Amino acid sequence: MVKVLARIHRPGPPWFLLLPALLVLFLSLVPLGYVIFRTLELPAHEIQQLLLRPRTMELVKTTLALMVAVTGLSLLIGVASAWVVERTDLPRKDLWRGLLPLPFVVPSFVSSYSWLSLFPGVEQFWGAVLILTLYSYPLIFLPASASLRQMDPALEEVARSLGLGPREVFRRVTLPHLRPAMLGGALLVALHMLAEFGALSLLRVDTLTTAIFLQYELAFNNSAAALYTALLLLICLGVLLLERLFRGTALYFPVGPGARRDLMTLPLGKARGGVGLALSLLLIAGVGLPVVTVIYWLLKGASAGRGLQAALPAAFTSLGLAAVGATLAVAVALPVVILARRYGSPLALWAEKLAFGLRAVPGLVIALALVFAAIRWAYPLYQTLPLLWAGYLLLFLPLALAPIGAALEQAPPRLEEAARTLGKGPGQAFWAVTAPLLVSGLGAGWILVFLGILAELTLTLVLVPTGYSTLAMEIWSHTSRAEYAAAAPFALLLLLLAAVPAAWVMRQRAAGQKVWWA
């Protein structure tokens, strides 16, 4: 592996790559401007009073503690499980690759009410950490697993031939190679924890995000809520600076195209059974328990005559919104990543930073900002699907940027340059050489955004056009009134829709075909 300290000089980017970056910048300024505008409505003495009161300090501490705990545990579980699957002789690896990401398809608020119905004591901080970690670790597992599979086997083999043990090989060779995937996934987890609402409200854990919702819904105090949002943005800025510090300026590329052969796996020996049991318990806690609970409530409520058919219209709406939103996010993320990583474009770098920054802004705030802008300057967009998809783009774009960026960082620019010397133009060289290396990142990004939109709640409640209803909206409406049996059909359909991508991946792998993150 070669550590490249300077970016290779390239000609200026094509003009059409600039348009998506400009779109992201423009849209990102809307919620940021809204937060600043609403915050400045408060007198200075009220701002000082709100910032210094004990309640605000408590909210900040809880928010930071939740973010650190969930991100740290997700890193530990995600990297460990990816390494076990890809670097040991664990049986049925294809099956584990398809199953381990499944907890991400279970919305955190669905898991919360499932756990609450069985274990009321989970309604506290560490209960929230447990449930949100089970939901979040796939954001680390997916890119880490993909990076381990794409890694040139010769790197670790050479390290072992020099006398390094498994631990030293992991620390000095494997872990540096995983750095882009780990940092990208950890950043997504940390920013998601800053904006998490559904699970925390059910589990009675107060953070800045739940306080923002209460200010809007109960106190009707937009300015105080905007101040809390400004605090979230400051925390987010600190997270982004830390991520940039740990990432550094170095890029990691394979020395050559890499030998596509199976790596010599480490034998688990007597630990094989224990490792398999640990992974099984992880899946039982993250997927099995919520699914069984939903089925229980479905059967219990069947006598009321409300079956799955009643949830079909909401299911079709959720499917359509998520598919279009995911496609839009990937289509915008790809040129932004190319501009930022290949050309070092300040425009794209700022677009990336603002996109990740908005990941910490609650969906409710983004929705109200878009409504505010649409009513004043683009009224025909008010209560339309394009405005809703714009909100999804702002909210979920980082889920596409992270895996696509990690994939591009492992695609050496010199491969394109070699194609150029053979007479191919810039576009032809990219599609012939680099695009195939990005397939895994594009697919992972599409699926992550698709699953995120399926489970999105607060932004959809505000922006969805009249007459539309999604599965997440119906689940929230019923569970907030403790109508678990009525919510069960919608929850089960949501789980089934979210499981479709994972089932397709497992089928493709079983047939020996290449899949998106293979």
Cβ count within 10 A of residue 467: 7
Return the pLDDT at 427.
Answer: 58
Residues 6+ apart with CB under 8 A from 103: 134, 135, 137, 138, 282, 283, 286, 287
DSSP assignments along 18-85, one per residue: HHHHHHHHHHHHHHHHHHHHHHHTS-HHHHHHHHHSHHHHHHHHHHHHHHHHHHHHHHHHHHHHHHHH
Residue 218 identity (one-letter amino acid)? L
Q: Distance between CA atoms of 93 and 99, rounded to whole angstroms?
A: 10
Render 439-474 in DSSP notation, one character per residue.
HHHHHHHHHHHHHHHHH--HHHHHHSPTT---HHHH
Element housing 4 (H / E): strand 2-4
One-letter amino acid of 237: L
The model's pLDDT over 55-105, given as tens digits with 9 standing for 90+, comes to 888 999 999 999 999 999 999 999 999 888 888 888 888 788 878 888 887
Instruction: Tell me the CATH architecture of domain 2-250+283-510.
Output: Orthogonal Bundle (1.10)
**What gap in Å lies between CA 326 and CA 271, rounded to an integer?**
40
Compute how many other C-beta atoms are within 10 angstroms of the C-beta atom of residue 214: 16
Element (H, E) at 253: strand 251-253
pLDDT in tens, 99-133: 888 888 788 888 887 888 788 788 889 999 999 99
At residue 51, the pLDDT reads: 80
Cβ atoms of 517 and 446 closer than 8 Å: no
The CA angle 433-353-253, to the nearest 5 degrees, is 30
- Residue 32, class by beta-carbon neighbours within 10 Å (0-12 exposed, 13-18 middle, 19+ buried)? middle
Paired with 136 in beta bridges are none
At residue 88, φ and ψ (nearest 5 deg) are -125, 175
Question: How far does Cα 421 stand from its chain's mean position?
Answer: 38
Q: Does the predicted TM-score (pTM) go above 0.85?
A: no
Q: Give the whole-angstrom CA distance, residue 162 versus residue 507.
A: 39
What confidence score (pLDDT) does residue 226 get? 77
Which residues make Cβ contacts (< 8 Å) with residue 414, sequence separation at least 6?
8
CB 446 within 8 A of CB 350: no
How many CA atoms does the CB half-sphere of 408 hold within 13 Å? 22
Spans of the chain below 50 pLDDT: 1-9, 255-259, 305, 507-518
- Using a 10 angstrom Cβ sphere, with 0-12 exposed, 13-18 middle and 19 or more buried, the burial of residue 125 is middle
Q: Of 286, 282, 284, 278, which is closest to residue 106 (Cα–Cα)?
A: 286
Provide the pLDDT for residue 514: 42
Q: Tell me, what's the pLDDT at 505?
A: 54
Q: What is the mean pLDDT of the chain?
A: 79
